[in-house]
Amino acid sequence: MNQNIDIEKLNYRNGVNGIVVDKDNNFLLVQKLSYGDNQWDFPGGGLEEGEDGKGALLRELQEELGTNKFEIIKKSKYVNKFEWPLEVIKRTFAKKGKTYRGQQKVQFLVKFIGSKDEIKKQDEELKQIKWVKYKDLKKHLIFENQWQNAERVIKELIEKV
């Protein structure tokens, strides 16, 4: 892939995010292998051919976290649409032979209904996971507009935080 990429002609990858909460209203965050030490996100991923949002999210949660103890509560009216940095676009193309300009993720509120010892993170994709209180989310969600999106969606989907 050369340096003269026409990003405007690339599509967005369709994806999903799960804002996962436990019975104590802690939020589940994941740190992907490609992330820096202080970069976190909510679990989720891309839609496969023919998948709907809920099915994709439940599949991604099972793959990344090794359990199916999740219950989708609500779907947000907000889609999180963002651009990828040029180096991510190039890396994706080199790895997969195709690429996107970014992602547009449908977001869901998800209740974790299992016990935390049932979670077995997928080492091929995740460095670590952690549960945090709402008041601590802002210091973990540091990508551009990540906190603003999360705050808006959480306020929409959860009555009290």
Q: Which amino acid, one-letter code, is at 53? A: G
The structure tokens 């010892």 sit at: 117
Q: Is the pLDDT of residue 1 over 60?
A: no
DSSP bridge pairs for 21? 27, 111
Residue 28 has pLDDT above 80, yes or no: yes
The residue type found at 103 is Q
Q: Give the per-residue pLDDT at 135.
A: 97
pLDDT tens figures, 48-75: 989 999 999 999 999 999 999 999 999 9
End-to-end CA distance of the chain: 45
Q: If you compute the radius of gyration of the chain from its CA atoms, what whole number of angstroms results?
A: 16
* Alpha helices, H only, 2-145: 53-65, 86-96, 134-140
113-131, pLDDT tens digit by residue?
A: 999 999 999 999 999 999 9
Task: Give the domain extent around 137.
Answer: 7-157
Q: Give the pTM.
A: 0.89
In a domain, residue 2? The reply is no
**Count of domains forming the chain:** 1
Question: Has residue 81 got a pLDDT over 60?
Answer: yes
Ramachandran class of 50: left when φ > 0, alpha when ψ lies in -120 to 50, beta otherwise: left
pLDDT of 9 reads 86
| Residue 1 belongs to a domain | no
- Domain annotation covers residue 32: yes
Tell me if 59 is assigned to some domain: yes
Other residues' Cβ atoms within 10 Å of the Cβ of residue 111: 15
When pLDDT is averaged across residues 18-44 and rounded to a whole number, the result is 96
Which helix (H) or strand (E) segment is 40 a member of? none
Cα angle value 60/14/28 (rounded, 5°): 40
What is the total residue count of the chain? Answer: 161
**d(Cα 56, Cα 120) in Å, to the nearest integer?**
19
Query: Does position 4 have pLDDT exceeding 70, yes or no?
Result: no
Asked if residues 19 and 62 have their Cβ atoms less than 8 Å apart, the reply is no
In a domain, 30, yes or no: yes
For the record, the structure tokens of 148 come out as: 């603003």
CATH number of the domain where residue 142 is located: 3.90.79.10
